[in-house]
Structure 1
């Protein structure tokens, strides 16, 4: 592996690094993990990101799509993981992740057929709800984090708004690869400013070791509860739909048509990655769309580049001091970066919805009801507090409530298109075009 391939692989790591560390930081802080536990969560996330990327790049008879894809912790799983952890505990989170990975691995051959349940009106709505449900968390961090004695202080607002300003300036004046690092540049600059303000302490970094080995079931043996498993299965299906779009986009960039067999191998690799995430107490993983842009930008379409990125991530995950550095990022800095990222998730959902035919009022009703219920369950979680436990976990999280609503309403309004024959679906599509 030559120096050019390694440097291009490092570019991929830098492009996805901010997204990779934000998920464990947000989940860990929401579930009140200790500094040591949080450092472990970041480290194991980086390591399993690397393993997941290597699994997908290693094309063989059984798994791996062989395209230059980079996998990272899925933002889709962020809100459901926090909800499951708060209700059932950490061990239930990882039981549900392992079960979801196993389901995807075993049923990969049939998952392509489930894509018809996730047309743009569903996926666009789900992605929009995900972004909207995450924004309050980012705003709270901007103010200093829930429970902070300095919540909303001028110092916190200056820090967080400064991070947003740097991200916007980087996107306005930088080009190419440097522009793709805008969020990471904002976090680094904000953390340096916080150091100068005396708000960052390096004790955890100094105490962290230089090397450690991953430990299966770090937070205890997994617990398998039906409610969390059903919730995470929905997350897994949304991840598969997202990844399918990325596979086709990369296939087009790389001039390599993606076949049904390719998709099945890709799904199996994702299932394996999600299972590994559950075993090592990490996260569900999916393909990172920002790295697709980097492939297009660099014009290097070789899978060897993401193999290099995978090994770099594994190496970083074995060095606790690197993970400890991520845990010292102050809440306002994290908040400024995540507000931008979560806002971009919303804009991605709106972009997906732009391809939906809203002259069909039924599509408008699907979006309206799903976003209203999804956002409502996020803002007023006690709405479903009187339901049985197994059912409540399915609907107490806004993302899952909105997702279920969008899927079921799409089946209700477009029954023939979703469940009918290919001829019926074509007939319905023809009618839509004529109208």
Structure 2
């Protein structure tokens, strides 16, 4: 990616071009932004109306936090061209927390608020955290997230868990057509089309589903054109210590992930970050978790595909991304659009999910490839952490006889793997010679 001049960050393109560039950013991240609420809703068996609300709330949260990040608000906002969106890291913990609690998603919202507050408190110490959350830890976490989400996309490709025609060949064919379209567009598309390969592939999948008679009608008659997702519609935030602890771990991983992405963006845009600028950006991540909890959504992070788009287009204007944030807010206010998104055929989501979730796992592999395995214990840390993290995925009933209060931890393979990786990494560091400084960095930038 070409390095741009710092003045480009504050440049404001003409209105028409500004809008087109903002739409491009929205299209590049839209599929990823709606995937997390769809994953959570599908795993919890929510109704289309509830799913639509989660999609709208996630878009609203993403839009508000994007505007703050780009334009600044008090101590918040890095004032660079950043587009924020809900993070995959929190998807599985949210499902585990909601499934184990009688308060459902309300407990997730409360935990997100607590995680955001804790995030604000620990951000001044992030220089120390990056030495704890090394590529061994973050790579293990990303790999476990990607692998565990493959089960979700398999259910989608087969027609959706509990579907009457689960595994029907037509469903698998729709997923295959969607996947093939995404790969073809990614390979042969250019510029704008290649940047929106996932969304374009999903459109092809929907058209094909309609052609084979697998497109279920969506009733929009009972939904308003304009209706903001109001707080409390899915329950007011409920606070629980175990759930909050789980989301705090999610927040720490997100902050380390964001550090790498924001530093890279500073270099691309020609405005390298100092410690205070990075802190402003990370505070906005924490603020996004608080706002998400209040609005009925999930924690947010910077989207790497939009950072890549800055380098690809050569347009580093923060006003473009702020306009993209405003468009996300507008989209969140249109319930009919949210219902249409919620009514997407499951096999289409399955085809897209294979790419999105595979990218998450691949990013974990990339981070682990940066580990110096010549250092004593590094291979052991990865091996044991991956094995422990996979236990609840292969044997979901393994911990059923243990106290229910531990369920948010024990049913979440990613969390088990991360805690193991942190503990073992510290153990082997304390018993070996100091490792090279190069390995102390964060994981490779990632987000779907």
Normalised TM-score (structure 1): 0.94
> Is the helix fraction higher in 1 or 2?
1
Are the structure 2 counterparts of residues 430 and 374 from structure 1 closer, same or farther at C-alpha, using a change threshold of 3 Å?
closer
Residue 387 of structure 1: how far off its partner (Å): 2.8
**Secondary structure of 1:381's partner?**
coil
Alpha-carbon contact 2:100-2:407 (below 8 Å) kept: no
Residue 430 of structure 1: how far off its partner (Å): 7.9
Matched residue, 2:421: 406
Structure 1: unaligned runs, 5 residues or longer: 418-423
Residues 70-149 of structure 1 correspond to what in structure 2 (within 5 A)? 70-88=83-101, 89-149=104-164
**Secondary structure of 1:214's partner?**
coil
Aligned equivalents of 1:163, 1:214: Cα separation in 2: 30
Alpha-carbon contact 1:212-1:318 (below 8 Å) kept: yes
Residue 361 of structure 1: how far off its partner (Å): 4.7
How many positions carry a matched residue from both structures? 424
Aligned equivalents of 2:318, 2:344: Cα separation in 1: 33
Matched residue, 2:359: 344
The correspondence for 1:168, drawn from 166, 169, 183, is: 183
Residues 199-348 of structure 1 correspond to what in structure 2 (within 5 A)? 199-348=214-363
Residue 61 of structure 1: how far off its partner (Å): 4.6
**Secondary structure of 1:414's partner?**
helix
Residue 431 of structure 1: how far off its partner (Å): 12
**Secondary structure of 2:406's partner?**
helix
Aligned equivalents of 1:320, 1:430: Cα separation in 2: 50
Residues 386-425 of structure 1 correspond to what in structure 2 (within 5 A)? 386-415=401-430
Alpha-carbon contact 2:48-2:343 (below 8 Å) kept: no
Aligned equivalents of 2:117, 2:229: Cα separation in 1: 21
CA deviation vs aligned residue, 1:332-383 (integer Å, no higher than 9, x gap): 1111110111111111111111111122351111111111111122221222
Q: Establish whether residue 429 from structure 1 lines up as the match of residue 436 from structure 2.
A: yes
Matched residue, 2:387: 372
| Cα root mean square deviation, aligned | 1.8
Aligned equivalents of 1:55, 1:300: Cα separation in 2: 19
Structure 2: unaligned runs, 5 residues or longer: 1-13, 440-448
Residue 24 of structure 1: how far off its partner (Å): 0.9
Residue 176 of structure 1: how far off its partner (Å): 2.5
Residue 4 of structure 1: how far off its partner (Å): 1.0
Are the structure 2 counterparts of residues 299 and 431 from structure 1 closer, same or farther at C-alpha, using a change threshold of 3 Å?
closer
Alpha-carbon contact 1:177-1:297 (below 8 Å) kept: no
Aligned equivalents of 1:78, 1:211: Cα separation in 2: 28
Matched residue, 1:421: none
**Secondary structure of 2:301's partner?**
strand
Alpha-carbon contact 1:143-1:332 (below 8 Å) kept: yes
Alpha-carbon contact 1:167-1:185 (below 8 Å) kept: yes
Alpha-carbon contact 1:160-1:336 (below 8 Å) kept: yes
The correspondence for 1:34, drawn from 14, 29, 47, is: 47
